[in-house]
Structure 1
Amino acid sequence: MVVPACALLVAGLAFAVDHVWKPWPEPLPLILVVWTGAVLVAACLAAARLRAGRWPSRVLNVVLALVVLGSALAATNAFFGFYPTSRAVLDVLANSRVDLDDAAPPASSVLEVPAGGKLADVWVKPADLPEKGTVSEAEIPGGFTARPAWIYLPPAYAATPRPRLPVVVLLAGQPGSPRDWYDAGRLTDNLDAFARGHDGLAPVVVVADQLGTATANPLCLDSRLGRAETYLARDVPAWIERRLTVDERREAWTVAGLSQGGTCALQLAVRAPEVYGNFIDLSGQREPSLGTRAETVKAAFDGDEAAFARVNPLDVLARERFPRTAGVIVAGSGDSTYRQADAEVFQACRDAGMDVRWRELPGGHDWNVWRPGLYDSLPWLAERTGLSR
């Protein structure tokens, strides 16, 4: 009776999540549903046998239930690729963040780059430059209730005179948080490695919050669901320029994200091209979505299809051209949900005059694609933003 009862309970839970609550547009992965059922069965059997048998048998049952739980966590992590190493798991417990006032005091002098030149042409690595960058948290105020942003400053930010560095506004997926790019994305390790190969130079990376909460989805739009677009297109850039020493040219600004954050990156590339000259769309959706287009339009625009079409990126790309915008679109070869959508987005960007590149990597809709998708794009980005000759 235990197994059928647990199966029925898990099936009901999956139905409630996918069709009633619907916190994200994709259905729950089958592997997650199966392992949830296995853990529930193991827990129920262990609990039922706690009253029977001797203590060694009771302890064994508990241990076996914990083994099933551990196996479920390991299998789920392998599926999503969230923690690539055991060190990544342990780093969750560490706190290496630095107060932003300490990491980014006002610059006493700024390294100037001649008009039309590149930072890499005038940069000379100081002998006392730190080997690693810093990570800080900061509240970015605006008309959207966002969680604190996570900010990476490369070693070059500590130099005097300080260079004006390019900016990457980076977005996580949904469900998710800005911290995901540091835990699962290993952002600090990879950006420090990039900096070591470029005499301490790397972009300033601000992982902003486009969601508000882990399961919310305001669609990166200004709508009934919030003013997420204005926050990311106006409030966040204004704060960065006011608080940090950065290159303010649009060519030096990139917006990037994964999954829902990738969709958001594309949206900002076409809705705020005067701010973001570059974008990286990692496994993004075809369009902002809460499930179906009808559900999305109803929730965000009270059923007004024309209002949605005015801001939907594929509709914008069909009626406008963007010859000064460049981007990279990354898809997982095994991503049955979004790989075809990403191909459609790529073609629409090309047709609109963008300088776009297509990258297809082994993997599905997971961090095994998103990590290399971002970091393998850094040489391209460095050339565009002046970090390499």
Structure 2
Amino acid sequence: MLSPLDLSLIHGPIPITATVAGALALVTLAVRKNRRWWTRIVPAVVPACAVSVAVLKFVVDHVWKPWPERLPTILSVWVGAVLLAVCLAVARLRVGRWCSRVLSVVLALVVTASAVTATNAHFGFYPTSRAVLEVFTNNRVDLDEAAKPASSLVEVPAGGKLADVWRKPADLPDKGTVSEAEIPGAFKARKAWIYLPPAYSATPRPRLPVLVLLAGQPGSPRDWFDAGRLPERLDAFAREHDGLAPIVVAADQLGSRTANPLCLDSKLGQSETYLAREVPAWIKQRLTVDERRGAWTIAGLSHGGTCALQLAVRAPDVYGNFIDLTGQREPTLGTRAETVKAAFDGDEAAYVRVNPLDVLAREQFPRTAGVIVAGRDDLPYRQADAEVFEACRKAGMDVVWKELPGAHDWNVWRPGLYDSLPWLAARTGLSR
């Protein structure tokens, strides 16, 4: 029987019930049998809240601009609903009996909870309540313990595949391990999150392929482990492949949730050098991995997808494969002019030298393979992804196009990555 903790927070009765409850709570807060309430309080509070939300949206979209996309309309609506509920509740606290005041607070909390649930459903961040609760658990293993040096290694013949020689030990664990580690470099990055599959604990140990995984903006490396459900999905994949799965290093290309160094080497930071040189060097020094470029994949969602494409063309000697999950057309801070000015002091030629579409137009990449995933309802990004796919194809890449139901959210990013695992396994030798 399905546990209540496994009921969807994205589809079905929970988000619908939350939306209805929020609407009813807001209406209840707004209705009161008092002439002054209807002639003074409500006419003052409603416009004030609407103006506040409009100003907030303008500041975020046109002044602060922490990310290229504008605030989604649904998010603005729910922010307005919460603000209105709080203001109405505060106004009601000044009059009435204690039970009415308590009810006002409860109703404001209901609207807030509804807003959080609706926002989560829109972005598809936490699929279930269990996923939310697991944020507060700590199942991480110290990397020094999880990644002890191997006493012996599985030998793969030249030109062969790991799957052809691998034999699953009887005592192999059912799950992999999750660790955090600081990867030093020229770029001030947050800690990376690392998944080591069950086969990593085997003796002899196989040299496993590497998947460097990037989050979106705003975001952090941990997002793939919380919203992405990565350990759960990779453990399931490993069970179907005798314990084999890629080593995953969720690295940080941003530096903070609101930063955007564009995954380039510029005045905004040395993000490209970090991901193209320093992170791979650390992985090879710290972990037992297959060092062939064909065994290395760079992948990411949204901003991270754009970055994955950038690394595929800027560091093709390191990454033989890439997965671009609804990435942008090009690295951007809003417009090309704004991007060039902020990162390169207006030097358009400097930007053209590193912009992936410009690189693809002048160079060929016959040894690189990739998957480009687009959301069917993600209209602006879908068009950009189609343009990127065509540019990759013309540059000689072996690229696959995947179009999934959904928009610019985790409902596309999760299946986009995990449905690509069979492709990745075939490319990197994990399957026959």
1:127-146 counterparts in 2 under 5 A?
127-146=170-189
- Whole-angstrom CA distance in 2 between matches of 1:94 and 1:226: 33
The residue type equivalent to 2:360 in the other structure is: L
Among residues 217, 237, 241, which one is paired with 1:198 in the alignment? Answer: 241
4+ residue runs of structure 1 moved beyond 4 angstroms?
none
Partner of 2:284: 241
Among residues 61, 65, 71, which one is paired with 2:108 in the alignment? Answer: 65
Among residues 64, 72, 83, which one is paired with 1:29 in the alignment? Answer: 72
Partner of 1:149: 192
1:301-340 counterparts in 2 under 5 A?
301-340=344-383
- Whole-angstrom CA distance in 1 between matches of 2:144 and 2:166: 25
- Whole-angstrom CA distance in 1 between matches of 2:139 and 2:431: 29
Report the CA distance between 1:336 and its aligned residue. 2.1
- Whole-angstrom CA distance in 2 between matches of 1:91 and 1:10: 33
1:96-175 counterparts in 2 under 5 A?
96-175=139-218
- Using the aligned pairs only, state the percent identity: 82
Partner of 1:376: 419
Deviations 1:68-111 (A, max 9, x none): 00110111011000001111000110110000001000111111
Report the CA distance between 1:50 and its aligned residue. 1.1
The residue type equivalent to 1:270 in the other structure is: V
The residue type equivalent to 2:355 in the other structure is: N
- Whole-angstrom CA distance in 1 between matches of 2:91 and 2:134: 37
- Whole-angstrom CA distance in 1 between matches of 2:99 and 2:231: 46
Q: Does 1:344 align with 2:398?
A: no
The residue type equivalent to 1:376 in the other structure is: D
CA RMSD, 1 decimal: 0.4
Partner of 2:60: 17
- Whole-angstrom CA distance in 2 between matches of 1:225 and 1:336: 29
Q: Does 1:289 align with 2:351?
A: no
Q: Does 1:277 align with 2:315?
A: no
Deviations 1:23-70 (A, max 9, x none): 000000000000000000000111111121001111111111011001
Partner of 2:11: none
Relative to the length of structure 2, the TM-score reads 0.90
Partner of 1:228: 271
Report the CA distance between 1:337 and its aligned residue. 2.5
The residue type equivalent to 1:280 in the other structure is: I
SS in 2 for 1:206: strand
- Whole-angstrom CA distance in 2 between matches of 1:339 and 1:43: 38
SS in 2 for 1:31: helix
Greater share of residues in helix: 2
SS in 2 for 1:95: coil
- Whole-angstrom CA distance in 1 between matches of 2:168 and 2:423: 22
The residue type equivalent to 1:236 in the other structure is: V
The residue type equivalent to 1:50 in the other structure is: L
What are the ranges of 5 or more consecutive residues in structure 1 without an aligned counterpart? none
Among residues 303, 309, 319, which one is paired with 1:266 in the alignment? Answer: 309
Report the CA distance between 1:376 and its aligned residue. 0.1
Q: Does 1:92 align with 2:126?
A: no
- Whole-angstrom CA distance in 1 between matches of 2:45 and 2:338: 37
Relative to the length of structure 1, the TM-score reads 1.00
- Whole-angstrom CA distance in 1 between matches of 2:259 and 2:153: 40
- Whole-angstrom CA distance in 1 between matches of 2:200 and 2:238: 11
Partner of 2:98: 55
| Structure (1 or 2) with the larger CA radius of gyration | 2
- Whole-angstrom CA distance in 2 between matches of 1:238 and 1:20: 39
- Whole-angstrom CA distance in 2 between matches of 1:269 and 1:23: 26
Deviations 1:246-277 (A, max 9, x none): 00000000000000000000000000000000
